[in-house]
Amino acid sequence: MDSDRSAVSGRSKSAVLCPFLKKTASGARAPEARLAEAVGLARAIDLDIVLSEVALVSAIRPATYVGGGLVERLAPVLDDLDVDIVVVDARLSPVQQRNLEKAWGTKVIDRTGLILEIFGARARTREGQLQVELAHLEYQKSRLVRSWTHLERQRGGFGFMGGPGESQIEIDRRLIGDRIVRLKKDLESVKRTRTLHRKARKRTPFPIVALVGYTNAGKSTLFNQMTRAAVMAEDQLFATLDPTMRALQLPSGRTVILSDTVGFVSDLPHELVAAFHATLEEVLEADLIIHVRDCAHPDSESQKRDVEKVLRDELGLDPAVEGRVVEVLNKADLLLESSVDPDTGALLLSALSGDGVGNVLHRIDDCLALARVAVELVVPPSDGKMLAWIYRKGEVLSREDHEEGVRLIVRLDPADAGRLATRTTSLPD
């Protein structure tokens, strides 16, 4: 195929093929939903989709993943449509990828390569860029790194695809290994910095509330509504990659730190899970986790299972038994309220309009209050600094003013209650 065919339009003509095993377990995502997500992923890097279809596969072929008949049938179709890139929504082996490229005369990328390219284009912070580059190099260790000039021509890439005009290059594995070692050292430094930041936040201390959920569930929109921030929030897969934190005041007056994290996706490449572990640790360190779901999505239940799988299998946190996970159903304005099970305990809201956001804030308040302990104490009337600290840090349940002092029953975080009990150190601001 002529690799410059797409130069006229400025966008690569692309086809999306979604192989679907006929023996897939019950409860798995519907093939149409998987195809729609794969098309959304491809469009996230501005590919021009001219063909998309589901391919039913009875068994995975070692040579081409899909059957030979399908490979032969698609070859003239792809040629007639001048397709430059075929996205196969599966994890291909290097052999399968090369054989399909040879059979179709076009560039082929699998689901992992596509997600890595999206992440490379979206990462903005130094940490995010290091994580994506490491993930990509780990993925490419067993593959030939080729110059993906079609994607490079469309928009500034991350550097994985080579520049326009480059011939195909086979990168020496030793150089890749050396770069991986360097990246891991740099990320260790980032990890130490994050650890120091977490320790500093614990000394403050403000509770951490982390937003998690499937990509495009509306986490960033909810984050903006709650904090009045201006984090990028678009109807697009993986609009947010780098974690963002903002202070948030709850209805009780209590201050928390709200964290917006990267969205999850089904079949998340293990290279990305490993590389982003430092970022995902922010979720583990959170005092409360808000699982934001797109309840209007036809595959909402499957998306929920995918998120819980990452939390459970990769982070060791089981939402089924953890009391610090709160589920909220976003985009409720797009469906009838009667279609939502009222017995789940999940909160309905529309992050876009703001309806129901207040209920989420109150739920956060209530959940964090459960972790607090009630303390009864008497504060000398002259100790105004102590009284001010108690009102700032705790929730005063009752107050009685007497000559000997102010008798209070106050609900505090365990750490603050410990400080009051010992009074051996000055109280922090």
Is residue 359 annotated as involved in ligand binding?
A: no
Is residue 260 annotated as involved in ligand binding?
A: yes
Sign of CA dihedral 195, 198, 204, 205: negative
Is residue 405 annotated as involved in ligand binding?
A: no
Q: Which of 205, 206, 147, 200 is nearest to 171 (CA)?
A: 147
Is residue 217 annotated as involved in ligand binding?
A: yes
Residues of the chain with pLDDT under 70: 1-10, 24-28, 142, 144-172, 198, 200-205, 229-243, 269-271, 274-279, 319-322, 336-345, 422-429
**Strand-pair partners of 213:** 292
Is residue 330 annotated as involved in ligand binding?
A: yes
Look at residue 21 and give its three-state secondary structure.
Answer: strand
**Strand-pair partners of 206:** none
pLDDT value of position 146: 46
Eight-class DSSP state of 65: B
Edge-to-edge order in the sheet of strand 395-402:
373-379, 405-412, 395-402
Eight-class DSSP state of 375: E
Q: How far apart are CA 233 and CA 309, in angstroms?
A: 25
pLDDT value of position 405: 87
What are the sequence ranges of the domains in the chain?
Answer: 13-109, 122-145+169-204, 206-369, 372-425
Whether this prediction's pTM lies above 0.75 is answered by no
Is residue 220 annotated as involved in ligand binding?
A: yes
Is residue 64 annotated as involved in ligand binding?
A: no
The answer to whether 240 and 262 are in contact (CB under 8 A) is yes
Is residue 195 annotated as involved in ligand binding?
A: no
The answer to whether 160 and 148 are in contact (CB under 8 A) is yes
CATH hierarchy code of domain 13-109: 3.40.50.11060
Neighbours of 140 (CB within 10 A): 19
Is residue 214 annotated as involved in ligand binding?
A: yes
The answer to whether 119 and 238 are in contact (CB under 8 A) is yes
Alpha helices (H) in 228-352, listed in sequence order:
270-275, 277-284, 300-309
Is residue 240 annotated as involved in ligand binding?
A: yes
Cα–Cα distances (Å) from 164 to 118, 147, 149, 426, in that order, read: 19, 8, 5, 62
Q: How far apart are CA 208 and CA 245, in angstroms?
A: 9
Is residue 189 annotated as involved in ligand binding?
A: no
Q: What is the pLDDT of residues 324-374, one digit of tens each?
A: 888 999 988 887 554 455 556 688 899 888 899 999 999 999 888 887 888
Q: What is the pLDDT of residues 145-157, one digit of tens each?
A: 443 334 444 334 4
Is residue 333 annotated as involved in ligand binding?
A: yes
Structure tokens at 361: 């804030």
Is residue 219 annotated as involved in ligand binding?
A: yes
pLDDT value of position 299: 85
Is residue 162 annotated as involved in ligand binding?
A: no
Domains 13-109 and 206-369 equal at CATH topology level:
yes
pLDDT value of position 321: 58
Is residue 218 annotated as involved in ligand binding?
A: yes
CATH class of 206-369: alpha beta
Is residue 23 annotated as involved in ligand binding?
A: no
Is residue 352 annotated as involved in ligand binding?
A: yes
Is residue 351 annotated as involved in ligand binding?
A: yes
Is residue 365 annotated as involved in ligand binding?
A: no
Amino acid at position 78, single letter: L
